[in-house]
Amino acid sequence: MMEKKGRIMDEQEIARIAAETALEFYKKEQEKQNKLKRDRRLRNTKLLLRNYRKFKIHCTENIHELEELKDPDSFEYLDVDDLAIESIIKNKKRTAAMVRYIDRMLEIYRILSEKSKPEDLRRFKIMYDLYIADEEKTVEELSECHKIEKRSVYRDVNKACEALSSLLFGIDGMRSIS
């Protein structure tokens, strides 16, 4: 038995305190894990957006390259096995599928933004011009165009990425907003 402030603690009380402490620790660990997941989804969304133009170029060139890769004579001078070629083809197809998926989610986000508050549409436009549009704009240009501070551009991009994340990652993406 242990003494607690002048009184003796029995085994049940010790067990209760230990259980409460363990439960509290478990809840904190769960919160940390959820935050890491949220951060990862948001980071992945930003990573996809930052590389979107490269993916798009990659996909544009894919059609011709895929036909070349399927031609066994294309690699006769290289020591490349069929497994490596299949892996490259699979990767190119996955990239194209991902770009199509991102395009659909961007379109949904655009429609939702147009039906929402003016700030939401501004956020979409800023994110679009920064990462998606053929002609890339800088943060300074966007700041001038929308008559907002540069810091507001960054905040808008973060808010847009959170909203897009919920579309890209479904219910898991929704958890990132709360």
pLDDT one-digit tens code per residue, 151-166: 999 999 999 999 999 9
pLDDT one-digit tens code per residue, 35-88: 666 678 889 999 999 999 999 988 877 666 666 666 656 555 455 566 677 787
Alpha carbons 146 and 126: distance in angstroms, whole number: 8
Q: What is the DSSP letter of 137?
A: -
Higher-pLDDT residue of 155 and 178 is: 155
Alpha carbons 51 and 57: distance in angstroms, whole number: 10
Alpha carbons 74 and 81: distance in angstroms, whole number: 12
176 in Cβ contact with 38 (< 8 Å): yes
Q: What's the sign of the alpha-carbon dihedral 78, 80, 86, 87?
A: negative
Report the range of poorest mean pLDDT among 14-23, 38-47, 164-173. Answer: 164-173
Alpha carbons 163 and 99: distance in angstroms, whole number: 18
Q: What pLDDT shows up at residue 176?
A: 44
